[in-house]
Amino acid sequence: MDRNGTIAIIGAGIAGAAAARRLSGAGRRVVVIDKGRSPGGRMATRRGPDSLRFDHGAQYFTARDPRFAALVEDWTARGIAVSWGGAGRHVGVPAMTAPVRDLLADIDVRCGRAVGRLVREGRDWRLAEADGAALAGDAAFSTVLLTCPSPQSLALLEAAGQDLPGVAEMRYAPCWTLMLAHDGPPFRGGPVREDRDPEATIAWIAENGSKPGREGGTIVAHASPSWSRANLECAAQDVAERLVAALQDSVGPLGEIRHRAAHRWRYAAVEQAVGEPCLFAPEAGLGFAGDGCLGPRVEFAYLSGLALAERVLAA
């Protein structure tokens, strides 16, 4: 097998971007494919009407590992990240997607393509859409690195008759997110409010507008895992109404509400990680990285992507 052949990375979130940057920096050919419209994954920004921007996925990131801390320092120096809300929190500028986009600069990234099948051809891999249509210009890949949440990665592995031990063990909690724009005053008590009561409807409220580049009077609220699970299949409009009511119960009247929308994250926060930095089967040319490896944080997903790239380079 040509172990120096092109590497396909499925998923342009922070884990896929970290792996792509390291591999490309080491001179390897890399193609990143994502089903979303743009890179970022759960480091996401949703545009609303009137150029409103909401960070509706990850709210911030922290940096404890020296490798990630050095990167965050570099992003900060270049205006790609800024500290926000104290406690070592950082956000992307002008949006949460900015750090991922920076990692992927100059890399071949193909968005709007959902990988439906991994097809083994001799010792190579080809990628296909769910209906069998070839993806990535029918290119052959020596290695495929999966960085989508484990249920999505597992479906691809099973359809290809492959097993990557550990992927099936990861568990994720869902999250319904409310995005709201209003004309009332900001809520009291700082830009962030957390409720750790597992029975609470809303677990997290952020004054989204207090982040640089986001319009004032915008709020993002995350429903708790238990509420999200219980209401997983409800209609988004209905969920938005109920979360607005719960939000006002929590922070008081919000004045005139100009915009409200709800987004469902089916796989939001890792509840059970596998406890390994990454998973890699060199003989099959398959690997997995993402927050399912080390835990529910941007930093952990980054470190997982980096670890997988190192494994590939060492193979």
Which residues sit at the interface with ligand FAD, rule CB under 6 A?
10-16, 33-36, 41-43, 57-61, 114-115, 147-149, 152, 175, 177, 222, 265, 268-269, 290-291, 296-298, 301
**Strand boundaries in 1-64, DSSP class E:** 7-10, 30-33, 46-47, 53-54
Q: Min. distance of Cβ 268 from ligand FAD in angstroms?
A: 4
CB of 101 to ligand FAD, least distance (A): 12
CB within 8 Å of 103: residues ≥ 6 apart:
14, 17, 18, 20, 21
Alpha helix positions (H), 26-185: 66-77, 98-103, 150-159
Q: Are strands 30-33 and 257-272 parallel, antiparallel or unpaired?
A: unpaired
Q: Which is nearer to ligand FAD, 3 or 200 (CB)?
A: 200
C-alpha 173/C-alpha 75 separation (Å) is 30
CA–CA gap between residue 20 and residue 132 (Å, rounded): 25
Please report how close the Cβ of residue 109 comes to ligand FAD at its closest, in angstroms: 11
Phi/psi for 26 (5° steps) reads -90, 10
Instruction: Report the residue number, 251 or 289, with the smaller CB distance to ligand FAD.
Output: 289
Nearer to ligand FAD, 253 or 308 (CB): 308
Q: Output the smallest distance, CB 111 to ligand FAD, in A.
A: 9
Q: How many residues does the chain have?
A: 315
Q: At its nearest, how many Å lie between ligand FAD and the CB of residue 183?
A: 25
Based on CB atoms, which residue is closest to ligand FAD, 183 or 229?
Answer: 229
